[in-house]
Structure 1
Amino acid sequence: MNLLSEINWAVIAPILIIQFILFIVALVDVIRIERTNGPKWMWVLIILFINIIGPIVYFIFGRRQQ
């Protein structure tokens, strides 16, 4: 338990908040959008299992430009 008290939460908390916001926004977007580059189920798995990088990859490559 001593390890948890040594963590600098002022650095970690903003990263966790940004990750959570990216996660939620990407999931909502992939559900609402009609078509994506590739199957939707694949993008949901990428967003869910590849933490911070997954939502960013979805927004760069997964959204179909119209």
Structure 2
Amino acid sequence: MSLILEPNIPDPDGFYDELLRAHEGLTDDESEAFNARLILTLCNHIGDREILRAALEAAK
């Protein structure tokens, strides 16, 4: 399995709106903590260290 880097989210604009709404009312610190929890939740869901390592490199 390899890291998918092409757009792969159905209705990406709708998802982006959901993501922005999830941050509504949060302070900057709360927003950063939310992002960290979201990242760790998604990493746990993926679970594959090779994929996670590739994602770290792609995000640099």
Task: Give the TM bin, normalised by the shorter chain.
Answer: 0.3 to 0.5
Q: TM-score, normalised by structure 1?
A: 0.34
Which has the larger share of helix? 1
Bigger relative contact order, structure 1 or 2, given CA contacts below 8 A and separation 6+?
2
